[in-house]
Amino acid sequence: MATKGELTKTRLVDSMLELIQSRGYAGTGLIAVAEHARAPKGSLYFHFPDGKEALGVAAVDRAADQFHELITAAARDEPTAGGVVRRVVEALAALLEASDFQLGCPVSVVTLEMGADSDLLRQSCAAAFESWISPVAELLVEHGRSDDDARGLATTLVSTVEGASIISRAQRSVVPLLRAGQVLSGLVDAR
């Protein structure tokens, strides 16, 4: 069972993640995070003595873990690589719709806003993207692709889904994301 301190830290990270998704990294202040998490400001500095940057890294890491879990769960349940792609894209489309297109990928947001200013955040974002590319590449190898082909295709898949998610938010429609998923699904299953 988690301690009170661990629960508070989790709430802070979850709040930072949600606020980054809706307001961006630059638009998310520590006071807003503490209020959103219903935590005293002092606990924020206790758990994250290095401040906003450290909390941002924790939020990016949490987002990376969540998306990695989505990929691995889809891979367990789907018999084809294209099926995995479809399931992941459909889940992302559902999240976009459920948030009324307010919540985007926090890793993309942090990369775009802070990648040039904070090497720590840039590295965290790079690691997050890699944590998504690697399991997709492994899945493609399991389905008969060479290592090089799988790596290139996995990078393309993640990049395309990220871009399609941004377009979907801009258009307030999941159609771009779902269309990208259809094309990607066919691409990975084609021989």
Residues 3-21 have pLDDT tens digits of 888 889 999 999 999 999 9
> Which domain does 17 fall in, by range?
4-189
CATH of the domain at 66: 1.10.357.10
**Cα 138–chain centre separation:** 19
Residues 57-69 have pLDDT tens digits of 999 999 999 999 9
User: In the prediction, which pLDDT does 84 show?
Assistant: 94
Q: 189 and 81 in contact (C-beta within 8 Å)?
A: yes
Q: What is the band of 104 on the pLDDT scale with cuts at 50, 70, 90? A: confident
Number of domain units in the chain: 1
Q: 67 and 132 in contact (C-beta within 8 Å)?
A: yes
* Tokens of residue 97, six digits: 């719709």
Q: How far apart are CA 145 and CA 158, in angstroms?
A: 17
